[in-house]
C-alpha cells in the first residue's frame, strides 16, 4: 500500500469508530495524565511551601552583636549567590516623636541602605526619609509617602512596610526605620535573607562581627532566625513518584498502545490474509495511535496550566517542562506499544484470534 492509502485507511478507522478513539483518549488521560498531574501538583506544593518559608521570615538569619556589626560588610553579603537581601540595623539615639502622640514615641532604628530590601515596603526606599511599620502607620494615620508632623517639626515618610505578627521577632512590629550610611559607625544586628540555605552565608555572617575588646560586659554574637515558628530548617514536601514519573508514563503508554492494537488482532490478521502488508498496518496503526495520543495530550495542557497558574516563570516553566517531558515519554510509549503489538499479530493465528474474540 502507498503512503496515501495507509493514511486514508487510518482516517477511515478513526472516523468510523473502529479504533474506538474516545476510549484510548480517555485511558491516556486517566493513566498518563494522572502521573503528569501528580508530579506537577507535588512540585507546586513544594514551591508553595518554599514561598511560605520565605514569606514567614524563616529564611532570614539575624546575627546579633550590639555595637559590633560592620554595616558595610553586612550590606556586601547581598553579592553572595544565594543571598536575596542583606542589611544592618541598630537602635537610633532618638526615637520618632509624632505630634499625634503627645506623650508617646515610635521606636526608631537606623538601617543601612540594603535593609529595606528585606521588607515588603509600599513606597520608595530612596533618599533619607523614614519607613514605618504597618502597625505604626495605622496609629499615626499614615497611608503612604508624605510628611509626618512631629513635635520637632516635620519628618518625610517614604513608605510603609508590612510586618506580620506571626512569630517574627517583634522588635519591628511597631517601629520606624531611618536610613543611615553603611559606614556610619557599628550596628547591632545584620539581617540576611538567603535561599536556598547555605553554610557559606552563615560563615559570611560571622565575618560581619567586628573584633571585640574581650571585656566581660562585651556582647557576644548570637545567630538566629527572624521567625522560627516553621522550624529551623526547610523540609520540602515529597515529590510524587520521586523521579520515576517519566518511566511510569512510558510504561503506561506502552500498555495502552499495545492494548489498542491487540484488541483488533483478528481484524489485522484478516487483512494480512487478503494481502495487506505488515508495514502498511504498522503505518496505519502508528498514525492512529499518534492522533489519539496528541488529542489526549492537548486535553492535559489546560490542567497543567491550571496547576502552575500564579507561579513565577522561574517556577512555572520547570514544572511545565517536566510535565511536557513526561507526556512526551508517555506518547512515545504508546507508539512503541503499537509497533510491538502490530508486529506480534500473525496471519497464521487468525482462527485462534477469532475464537478468542
Predicted confidence (pLDDT) at residue 10 exceeds the cutoff of 80: no
Environment class of residue 310 by beta-carbon count within 10 Å: exposed (0-12), middle (13-18) or buried (19+)? exposed
pLDDT confidence band for 233 (50 / 70 / 90): confident
Give the strand pairing for 222-225 and 60-69. Answer: antiparallel
pLDDT confidence band for 352 (50 / 70 / 90): low
**Mean pLDDT of the region 127-139:** 84
**Mean pLDDT of the region 274-295:** 76
Over the stretch 240-275, which tens digit does the pLDDT of each residue have? 877 788 999 999 999 998 888 877 766 666 656 565
Residue with cell 503612604: 144
pLDDT on residue 223: 93
**Mean pLDDT of the region 201-205:** 93
**Mean pLDDT of the region 227-238:** 86
pLDDT on residue 189: 95
Kindly report the three-state secondary structure assignment for every residue of the chain.
Answer: CCHHHHHHHHHHHHHHCCCCHHHHHHHHHHHHHHHHHHHHHHHHHHHHHHHHHHHHCCCEEEEEEEEEECHHHHHHHHHCCCEEEEEEEEECCCCECECCCCCCCECEEEECHHHHHHCCEEECCCCCCEEEEHHHHHHHCCCCCEEEEECCEEEEEEEEECCCCCCCCHHHCCCEEEECCCCCCCEEEEEEEECCCCHHHHHHHHCCECCCCCCCCCCCCEEEECCCCCCCCCCCCCCHHHHCHHHHHHHHHHHHHHHHHHCCHHHHHHHHHCCCCHHHHHHHHHHHHHHHHHHHHHHHHHHHHHHHCCCCHHHHHHHHHHHHHHHHHHHHHHHHHHHHHHHHCCHHHHHHHHHHC
Alpha carbons 123 and 106: distance in angstroms, whole number: 20
pLDDT greater at residue 275 or residue 203? 203
* pLDDT mean across residues, the chain: 84
pLDDT on residue 17: 53
Alpha carbons 89 and 87: distance in angstroms, whole number: 7
Predicted confidence (pLDDT) at residue 123 exceeds the cutoff of 90: no
Give the strand pairing for 187-194 and 146-150. Answer: unpaired
pLDDT on residue 129: 72
Over the stretch 40-86, which tens digit does the pLDDT of each residue have? 999 999 999 999 998 888 999 999 999 999 999 999 999 999 999 99
Residue 27 exposure: Cα atoms within 13 Å on the Cβ side: 19
pLDDT greater at residue 300 or residue 142? 300
pLDDT confidence band for 115 (50 / 70 / 90): very high
Residue with cell 552565608: 201
Predicted confidence (pLDDT) at residue 1 exceeds the cutoff of 60: no
* pTM, entire model: 0.77
For residues 286 and 338, the answer to whether their CB atoms sit within 8 Å is: yes
Over the stretch 304-315, which tens digit does the pLDDT of each residue have? 999 999 999 999
Alpha carbons 36 and 128: distance in angstroms, whole number: 52
Q: Above pLDDT 70, what percent of the chain?
A: 84
pLDDT on residue 259: 87
pLDDT greater at residue 345 or residue 10? 345
Predicted confidence (pLDDT) at residue 6 exceeds the cutoff of 60: no
pLDDT greater at residue 108 or residue 167? 108
Amino acid at each position: 500500500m502507498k503512503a496515501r492509502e495507509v493514511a486514508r485507511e487510518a482516517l477511515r478507522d478513526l472516523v468510523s469508530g473502529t479504533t474506538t478513539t474516545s476510549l484510548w483518549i480517555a485511558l491516556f488521560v486517566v493513566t498518563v495524565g494522572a502521573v503528569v498531574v501528580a508530579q506537577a501538583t507535588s512540585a507546586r506544593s513544594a514551591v508553595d511551601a518554599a514561598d511560605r518559608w520565605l514569606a514567614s521570615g524563616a529564611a532570614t538569619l539575624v546575627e546579633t552583636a550590639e555595637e559590633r556589626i560592620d554595616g558595610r560588610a553586612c550590606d556586601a553579603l547581598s553579592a553572595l549567590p544565594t543571598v536575596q537581601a542583606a542589611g544592618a540595623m541598630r537602635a537610633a539615639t532618638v526615637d520618632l516623636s509624632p505630634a499625634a502622640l503627645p506623650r508617646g514615641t515610635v521606636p526608631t532604628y537606623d538601617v543601612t541602605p540594603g535593609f529595606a530590601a528585606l521588607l515588603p515596603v509600599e513606597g520608595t526606599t530612596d533618599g533619607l526619609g523614614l519607613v514605618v511599620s504597618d502597625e505604626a502607620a495605622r496609629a499615626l494615620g499614615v497611608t503612604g509617602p508624605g510628611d509626618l508632623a512631629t513635635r520637632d517639626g516635620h519628618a518625610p515618610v517614604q513608605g510603609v512596610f508590612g510586618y506580620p505578627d506571626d512569630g517574627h521577632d517583634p522588635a519591628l512590629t511597631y517601629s520606624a526605620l531611618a536610613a543611615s550610611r553603611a559606614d556610619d559607625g557599628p550596628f547591632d544586628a545584620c539581617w540576611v535573607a538567603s535561599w536556598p540555605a547555605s553554610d557559606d552565608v552563615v560563615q559570611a555572617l560571622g565575618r560581619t562581627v567586628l573584633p571585640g575588646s574581650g571585656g566581660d560586659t562585651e556582647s557576644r554574637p548570637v545567630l538566629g532566625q527572624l521567625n522560627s515558628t516553621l522550624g529551623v530548617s526547610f523540609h520540602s514536601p515529597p515529590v510524587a513518584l520521586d523521579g520515576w514519573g517519566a518511566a511510569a508514563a512510558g510504561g503506561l503508554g506502552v500498555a495502552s498502545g499495545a492494548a489498542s492494537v491487540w484488541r483488533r488482532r483478528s481484524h489485522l490478521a484478516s487483512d494480512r490474509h487478503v494481502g495487506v502488508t505488515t508495514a502498511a498496518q504498522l503505518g496505519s496503526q502508528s498514525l492512529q495511535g499518534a492522533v489519539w495520543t496528541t488529542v489526549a495530550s492537548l486535553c492535559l495542557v489546560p490542567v497543567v496550566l491550571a496547576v502552575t497558574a500564579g507561579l513565577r516563570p522561574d517556577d512555572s516553566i520547570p514544572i511545565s517542562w517536566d510535565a511536557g517531558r513526561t507526556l512526551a515519554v508517555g506518547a512515545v510509549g504508546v507508539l512503541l506499544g503499537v509497533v510491538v503489538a502490530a508486529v506480534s499479530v500473525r496471519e497464521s493465528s487468525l482462527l485462534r484470534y477469532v475464537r478468542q474474540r
